[in-house]
Structure 1
Amino acid sequence: MKTPPLSLSLLRRGFTLIELLVVIVIIAILVSLAVPATNLVMKRAQDLKIKTVLKDLQVAIGHYRTEYNRFPINPDDLGGGDSDIEPFLTDGTSQPMVNILTANVDSSGASTNMNPKAIKFIDLPSAKNNLFGIIDPSGGANDGTPVQLVDTWGLPYKVLLDTNYDNRIQNPDKSNNDQRISTDAPEYLNSTSAIYSFGPDRQEFTKDDIVSWR
């Protein structure tokens, strides 16, 4: 006895369900592949934003030195000797570098004004929600109130300067806890400035630090 054939409507219904399952599986696979790729693209975009700021700061420091024959820092902190100034943060309390480079200085103090020509060596964005840019407590008064310059994660950058003018600075990579970075890192960088962000983990000397020299 022959089994009666399935009706056309049942066949269509069965194929529709199978096709739906296949589509769902394909979508799930594509999503699983797309998420890591998207995260990688976003990370590279974030790194590029930070790298651009680091490069712009180095260029601005160089232009300032050409104009004034000194670094954009408080000269009282140099202290003489053969050592470079201690690394400092762009947190608005360590050094007035960001204020000086953006011409946000108190022009009434002629002897202490580190940018008397009011040259704006760099344009930096204002931070939104205290992320990526300048945090200005004065609200843009441009009266010399110390400002902060923070990265995408709301932390200040760290700056090293060759204030003893030997054309080299200590390489922070030597202190990196990732041996792939620290092992082969040279003791010194042949540069007059170096700047870095602590990266998304907000920890210094880790593999995700975003730096100006590599």
Structure 2
Amino acid sequence: MKHTTTGKTGNRRGFTLVEMLTVIAIIAILAAMILSGVTKAKTSAMKATAKMEMKNLEAAILQYEKEYNLYPISQQTDKDVTLGTASIPGGVSGYSGLVLDNSDTMKILLDKDPARNPRHIKFFDAKLARDDGLPGLGPTDNVYRDPWGRPYIITMDTSFDDKVDDPVYGQIDAQVVIWSFGPDKTANADKNHGDNKDNVLSWR
């Protein structure tokens, strides 16, 4: 007698709605974790860039001072000078003192001010920004900005006492200090204020 073999009926079934939602939720969590990691890595890289730019700028300022026995500012004074925030709406919160932007210093260091750099030495090379307000050197305003588009804050020991008196961080044993508002693009006159937690500092 001839026997006919019949195949088993398949038991496979599709995903239930609950299972599909669970998978989607897991994918969303993994995507968020990856995005968070990418964001943190990008922020760390930008902070490292700011540190490098500040160190290079500090070295250029000190080289100028060694060459001319003066600091690269438009007018000499016996008080320490801070540059950097005049072009930022509001400037440093809680600080009402006049803080000029850093363009005059940049022009001197870049050999764009022959009156204050008569030997025509180019002390500094800066990445040229596509437009004013973007990271790098503004093409028309000559303001040097950090990776987040805020001007670098520069304080120089124009009193020549081997200390600088920064409007936010107070007295620091250095000839030049430079800092950035950091990723949140804000700063406060109280150095312990939360706005300053992510500031990038040249001396730390």
Bin the TM-score by the shorter chain: 0.7 to 0.9
Aligned length: 177
- Residue number among 85, 98, 102 corresponding to 2:106 in the alignment: 98
Structure 1 vs Structure 2 CA RMSD: 3.0
Hey, what's the Cα distance between the residues in 2 that align with 1:90 and 1:119?
26
Q: Which residue of 1 aligns with 2:120?
A: 118
Q: Match of 1:209, as an amino acid?
A: N
Hey, what's the Cα distance between the residues in 2 that align with 1:147 and 1:32?
39
Hey, what's the Cα distance between the residues in 1 that align with 2:85 and 2:126?
13
Deviation at 1:147, TM superposition (A): 1.6
Hey, what's the Cα distance between the residues in 2 that align with 1:90 and 1:62?
21
SS at match of 1:46: helix
Hey, what's the Cα distance between the residues in 2 that align with 1:31 and 1:127?
33
Q: Which residue of 1 aligns with 2:172?
A: 189
C-alpha contact (below 8 Å) 1:161/1:194 kept by paired residues = yes
SS at match of 1:170: strand
Q: Map 1:34-73 to 2 at 5 A.
A: 34-73=34-73
TM-score (norm 2): 0.73
Q: Which residue of 2 aligns with 1:177?
A: none
Kindly tell me: are residues 198 and 44 of structure 1, through their superposed partners in 2, closer, same or farther at Cα, counting changes over 3 Å? Answer: same
C-alpha contact (below 8 Å) 2:72/2:116 kept by paired residues = yes
**2:195 is equivalent to residue 209 of structure 1:** no
TM-score (norm 1): 0.70
C-alpha contact (below 8 Å) 2:101/2:143 kept by paired residues = no
Residues 33-64 of structure 1 deviation map (CA, whole Å, 9 limit, x = unaligned): 21221111111011111111111110101111
SS at match of 1:7: coil
SS at match of 2:182: coil
SS at match of 2:130: coil
Which segments of 5 or more consecutive residues in structure 2 lack a partner in the other structure? 1-7, 88-99, 189-195
Q: Match of 1:101, as an amino acid?
A: L
Which segments of 5 or more consecutive residues in structure 1 lack a partner in the other structure? 1-5, 108-112, 138-145, 175-186
**2:80 is equivalent to residue 84 of structure 1:** yes
Hey, what's the Cα distance between the residues in 2 that align with 1:194 and 1:16?
62
Q: Which residue of 2 aligns with 1:27?
A: 27
**2:158 is equivalent to residue 155 of structure 1:** no
C-alpha contact (below 8 Å) 1:50/1:197 kept by paired residues = yes
SS at match of 1:60: helix
Residues 131-182 of structure 1 deviation map (CA, whole Å, 9 limit, x = unaligned): 1111122xxxxxxxx62112233221211111111111125554xxxxxxxx
C-alpha contact (below 8 Å) 2:148/2:182 kept by paired residues = yes
